[in-house]
Chain A
Amino acid sequence: MNRIYDVAIIGAGVSGAAIARKLSRYRIQTVLLEKEADVSFGTSKANSGIVHGGFHHNAKYLKTRMEVLGASLFDQLQRELGFPFRRCGIIVAAMHLDEMRVVEHLYRQGVENGAPGIELCSRDRMLLLEPKLSTEVVGGLYAPSGGIIEPYRFVFSLVENAKKNGVTLETCFKAASARRVPASDSGADAQLWEITAADGRTVRARYVVNAAGLQADAVSALFGAEEFSITARKGEYFLLDRLAAGCPSRVVFPVPSSVSKGMLVIPTVEGTTLIGPTADMVPDKGDLATTAENLARITASARMLIPSVSERDVITSFAGLRPVLEEDFYIDMSKKVPCFVQVAGIQSPGLTSSPAIAEYVKDLLLKDGLELSENPEFEPYLAPPVHVRNLPPEERAVLVSQNPAYGNIVCRCEEISEAEIVEAIRHGHTTLDGIKFYTRAQMGRCQGGFCSYKIMKLIMRETGMSAEEITKRGGSSRVLEGEL
């Protein structure tokens, strides 16, 4: 790999993807390095999927400024990239009068932060805004700009658009070592970063952005940059079926405690319901296990808000890890090593902030001397993937007459056609989880019981992989033992 990049971004989560897409507007060469088999496979795939309302955090924090600015950029991004996103509004429900003191504090904070349209609500207004709320509600807060988003689809669309505009993506690239090397084609003083992956691949770049999420501390150490320690906070969730009676029309928060925003009830853009998360610090950054006790707590908490949430509707549970540094985000040029940008500690509201983080990092690079001239060929638009499920029958009929594979429904629960799965594979999503997050196939009520073997066959047909080579999410997550 002899190409020299201007910027190498380590980590293709939402921060890295947003930065990559931002930089793809300029006439520079950018490479996005991801240690997993696909993008968005870490923190960015397992979170609440919320564009926050700008009232949860104090204005003194960088993350608050990023949250409010980031949230305002989603409409434009959605127009360009077509990911699933809807401003359904966020409510915080107080269940007794003491909690209203906290709600009033959140309201004042929101006003100070410039959260658009935020209001205090009486009990009646709360029940009008969300009729499924517990009748024990005494009042609350409403942030109409808050919204819901499919986080992995957001990341996929950012990366796809970045690639379209010239960014290179390297997956399964686990940075193993880094050093400064002389830039061969320029003056004697000029130096570059050379990053070597565990499998021997190397990448050279003038600048490195550390957007490595949970591993940002390890990556910083690898480059001899600042020493800090990222700890993992685990959030466990339940996903409820599309037909669940307990699906609210807005995101419903409880009144937050000192340690977390609490467990919420979230209507997803796709019509399912998410409940959770818990918030427990875990010593192991690979610990994505769910626990029986926490899962019981989640349903109990969710039912305090929305009593019609039922365990009968649970189709799966999962956990995500938040990279926690300190209270705030850490986004800055390294003071210790040259040409190294730290984007660390991006916990909540990281997804909401990501468009603003990208802007901020771009400005840091510019200030440090990276020349950024607009690329006149930049194409901001991305044709969103077709979902036959969302089309009226007549349009669907036309589409199927053009490509019969749209008529063959492979995933019955989410109504995903063969053509949609093939499209995912052709976009480079060749693990079962990658296809799941890209298309929603296997994400419904049967959780792949009926369609995963069909998807495996499509992967084999499209890529030439053998059955033994197919994995759930890369690495050693092999699905089958082999042929009989």
Chain B
Amino acid sequence: MKELRFDAVVIGAGAAGMAASLSVSKRGFSCALVDREDYMGGILLQCIHNGFGLQHFGEELTGPEFALRLEKDVRAAEIPFFSGTTVLSIDSEESGFSLILSSAANGVFRASCASVILAMGSRERNRGNIRIAGDRPAGVFTAGLAQRLINIDGYLPGKRAVIIGSGDIGLIMARRLTLSGAKVEAVVEIQPFPSGLTRNIVQCLNDYSIPLYLSHSTLRIIGRDRVEGVEIAPLENGAPRLEKAFTIDCDTVLLSVGLVPENELSAHAGISLNPVTNGAFVDSTLMTSVPGVFACGNVLHIHDLVDRVAGEASRAGESCADWLEGAGSGKKRAEVPLKAGANIRYTVPSTIDPESKTTVCLRSMVMLDRGILKIMRGGAEIYKKSLKWVRPGEMISVEIPAGTLGVASTAGEPFEISLNAAGEGVK
């Protein structure tokens, strides 16, 4: 079996993988970029709408444009790209890692490396994951699959659609289907608030007068061969009011009910996963529980902006290069756990180094127009920040300057981060 050797292998050539490989390569290390598809760019290529790049490139781009910018840099850096290639396994070895890969072009081969960056992205939650009952006809698609079919393959999935879930892809697809000549009958969201970005509610639903049913549960899908309708009911006190159930006729159902990091490869490699995010537990350098393996982008936790993905991936690439420079030490740093406190679903990373500058990403569980974010340690408040327009659907990223957290003399205690409405709780 053919064997190749690199300093680092980056798995996944979407925004995260491309940005991470660039950081590694800039620091002079050899790096291979691997993707299952025949092209770089990942899901960005089917996101033909605009709204990308404002943070990372300082201008508004479409998905393919965003991808192309990164791809040009990857090509210029002459980073070897293995397209149409699936990583079958990652095994730890004394000197690093041994990967087995498979492709039609190169066959089954081995790649050994000192470091691995996981950038495999995510998959869409499907009907089974949210247990929608009813018939199982043709015409039920995840929103991303429908997006792919329309934007890349040029096929219309159906003429009358109901979109279940108000995730960003679903909202974007409501507009896309409408512009393609299909009628979107409704977007149905079980929560009392949309799960997608506010701008997408405005630009994709309101602008096209597409009804959004909040606090509505999908009871069942109807249709033997092809979808004929969806039965929904309003939720009251957390339970569907069956006597108020009604059916919306349609021939297509799109599901936009969230993304799940695609971590089966990581799990097989012995990397410990956070059951909240379904991504790896990482330290402040984005290193997983397996020393030398880093994670970034949607495989780590689900982002809502690709700009943040690229930023996080650049940091993972830098950390990987730092690790390669210090190769031989082979040890993880001692860090302090960071716990999710009141109203916080999770944080990434899950441990931090109080001495260094740290970026903490987190998700709120509540909607707040004005909130106060606090980091406590051993009962003492050591960091505080005001936040505006806090929404569960919008990730919060906080940069904590070096030294800020190092002041508390409470070694051994974890940090706890919490979020409350401004003007309530601890002073």
To the question of whether A and B form a pair in one complex, the answer is yes
B133 lies within 8 A of A289 (CB): yes
Nearest-CB residue, chain B, relative to A239: B128
A449 lies within 8 A of B144 (CB): yes
Nearest-CB residue, chain B, relative to A479: B138
Contact of A318 among B136, B157, B182, B275 (CB under 8 A): B136
Instruction: State in angstroms the CA–CA spacing of A471 and B144 once bound together.
Output: 20
Within 8 A of B (CB), among A440-460: 445-450, 452-453, 457
B108 within 8 A of A: yes
The interface-forming segment of A149-157, A207-215, A366-374, A401-409 is A401-409
B124 lies within 8 A of A446 (CB): yes
Instruction: State in angstroms the CA–CA spacing of A418 and B226 once bound together.
Output: 27
Contact of B145 among A396, A453, A472 (CB under 8 A): A453
Within 8 A of A (CB), among B57-74: none
Contact of B128 among A291, A447, A450, A483 (CB under 8 A): A447
A202 within 8 A of B: no
B86 within 8 A of A: yes
| Contact A407-B108, Cβ < 8 Å, known A243-B267, A315-B126, A479-B138 | yes
Instruction: State in angstroms the CA–CA spacing of A317 and B128 once bound together.
Output: 6
Contact of A415 among B88, B106, B136 (CB under 8 A): B88
Instruction: State in angstroms the CA–CA spacing of A326 and B215 once bound together.
Output: 46
Chain B residues whose CB sits within 8 angstroms of the CB of A407 once the complex forms: 102-108
A412 within 8 A of B: yes
Chain A residues whose CB sits within 8 angstroms of the CB of B142 once the complex forms: 449
A397 lies within 8 A of B1 (CB): yes
Instruction: State in angstroms the CA–CA spacing of A53 and B124 once bound together.
Output: 40
Within 8 A of A (CB), among B132-169: 133-139, 142, 144-145, 148-150, 153-159
Chain A residues whose CB sits within 8 angstroms of the CB of B262 once the complex forms: 412
Chain A residues whose CB sits within 8 angstroms of the CB of B134 once the complex forms: 289-290
A446 lies within 8 A of B126 (CB): yes
Chain B residues whose CB sits within 8 angstroms of the CB of A473 once the complex forms: 138, 225
Distance between B69 CB and nearest chain A CB, rounded to angstroms: 25
Contact with B along A99-130 (1 / 0, CB 8 A): 00000000000000000000000000000000
B126 lies within 8 A of A447 (CB): yes
A185 within 8 A of B: no
A316 lies within 8 A of B138 (CB): no
A311 within 8 A of B: yes
B131 lies within 8 A of A311 (CB): yes
A480 lies within 8 A of B108 (CB): no
A317 lies within 8 A of B226 (CB): no
Instruction: State in angstroms the CA–CA spacing of A413 and B145 once bound together.
Output: 16
Chain B residues whose CB sits within 8 angstroms of the CB of A27 once the complex forms: none
B329 within 8 A of A: no
Contact with A along B108-141 (1 / 0, CB 8 A): 1110000000000001101111010111111100
Instruction: State in angstroms the CA–CA spacing of A417 and B102 once bound together.
Output: 10
Chain B residues whose CB sits within 8 angstroms of the CB of A452 once the complex forms: 145
B264 within 8 A of A: yes
A292 lies within 8 A of B138 (CB): no
A476 lies within 8 A of B225 (CB): yes
| Contact A483-B145, Cβ < 8 Å, known A412-B86, A449-B124 | no
A269 within 8 A of B: no
Contact of A396 among B84, B108, B127, B158 (CB under 8 A): B108
B241 within 8 A of A: no
| Contact A479-B139, Cβ < 8 Å, known A400-B104, A449-B144, A484-B155 | yes
Distance between B208 CB and nearest chain A CB, rounded to angstroms: 18
A478 lies within 8 A of B138 (CB): yes
B123 lies within 8 A of A446 (CB): yes
**Residue with the highest number of chain B CB atoms closer than 10 Å, among A243, A291, A401, A408:** A408
Nearest-CB residue, chain A, relative to B273: A243
A475 within 8 A of B: yes
Contact of A483 among B88, B156, B251, B267 (CB under 8 A): B156
Distance between A471 CB and nearest chain B CB, rounded to angstroms: 7
Within 8 A of B (CB), among A150-167: none
| Contact A449-B226, Cβ < 8 Å, known A289-B133, A317-B128, A478-B138 | no
B219 within 8 A of A: yes
Nearest-CB residue, chain A, relative to B38: A408
Chain B residues whose CB sits within 8 angstroms of the CB of A295 once the complex forms: 131, 133
Instruction: State in angstroms the CA–CA spacing of A428 and B143 once bound together.
Output: 30
Nearest-CB residue, chain A, relative to B120: A412
Chain A residues whose CB sits within 8 angstroms of the CB of B1 once the complex forms: 393-394, 397
A480 lies within 8 A of B157 (CB): yes
| Contact A449-B145, Cβ < 8 Å, known A291-B133, A318-B136 | yes
Instruction: State in angstroms the CA–CA spacing of A225 and B65 once bound together.
Output: 69
Contact of B108 among A286, A318, A397, A476 (CB under 8 A): A397
Chain A residues whose CB sits within 8 angstroms of the CB of B153 once the complex forms: 453, 457
**Residue with the highest number of chain B CB atoms closer than 10 Å, among A243, A415, A447, A482:** A447
B136 lies within 8 A of A397 (CB): no
B49 within 8 A of A: no
B27 within 8 A of A: no
Within 8 A of B (CB), among A305-343: 311-312, 314-318
Nearest-CB residue, chain A, relative to B152: A453
Distance between B255 CB and nearest chain A CB, rounded to angstroms: 9
B128 lies within 8 A of A315 (CB): yes
What 8 A-B pairs have minimum CB-CB distances, sorted nearest first? A316-B128, A472-B138, A397-B108, A404-B104, A409-B86, A408-B104, A477-B138, A477-B225
Other contacts beyond A289-B133, A481-B157, A482-B156: 18, CB < 8 A = A289-B134, A289-B136, A292-B133, A315-B128, A316-B127, A393-B1, A396-B108, A400-B102, A400-B104, A407-B102, A407-B106, A446-B123, A449-B142, A453-B145, A473-B225, A477-B138, A484-B150, A484-B156
Binding site for B on A (CB under 8 A): 238-239, 242-243, 286, 288-292, 295, 311-312, 314-318, 388, 393-394, 396-397, 400-401, 404-405, 407-409, 412-413, 415, 417-418, 432, 445-450, 452-453, 457, 467, 471-473, 475-484
What are 23 pairs between A and B in contact, CB < 8 Å?
Answer: A288-B136, A289-B134, A290-B136, A311-B131, A314-B129, A315-B129, A317-B133, A393-B108, A394-B1, A396-B108, A400-B107, A404-B107, A407-B106, A408-B104, A418-B104, A447-B127, A449-B142, A453-B145, A471-B138, A473-B138, A479-B138, A483-B155, A484-B150
